[in-house]
Structure 1
Amino acid sequence: MIFSCEEHVDIAIDTIVNDYETFPSLEKIEPEKKLSTTCEYCKNNAIYVVANT
């Protein structure tokens, strides 16, 4: 599972595809659940959760 901002969501998707050889699920984080979750590639707030299913 990778937390990602808008700018880095494509990198997160590529990482899941390369690591697991499957298309990932992409979910938008609900505004009330964002809390202080940050992007794994920068320090911006995460908007998406990219995961292998």
Structure 2
Amino acid sequence: MKLEHIAIWTSDLEKMRAFYLRFFELESNEKYYNPKKEFSSYFLSFKTGARIE
């Protein structure tokens, strides 16, 4: 079995993104924002291909 991605809910998206980028050396996409649902997210990618949303 291979995991493609997992999602983590947080009250401080920018702080959590900074943590994962700093300590796990992940790559990030541009911020996604859905104004209708007031939802924002990033996909943070490991070199192996797995991602955190």
**If the length of structure 1 is used for normalisation, what is the TM-score?**
0.37
Higher relative contact order (CA 8 A, sep 6+): 1
Computing the radius of gyration from Cα coordinates, the structure with the larger value is: 2
Is the strand fraction higher in 1 or 2? 2
Structure with bigger helix share is 1
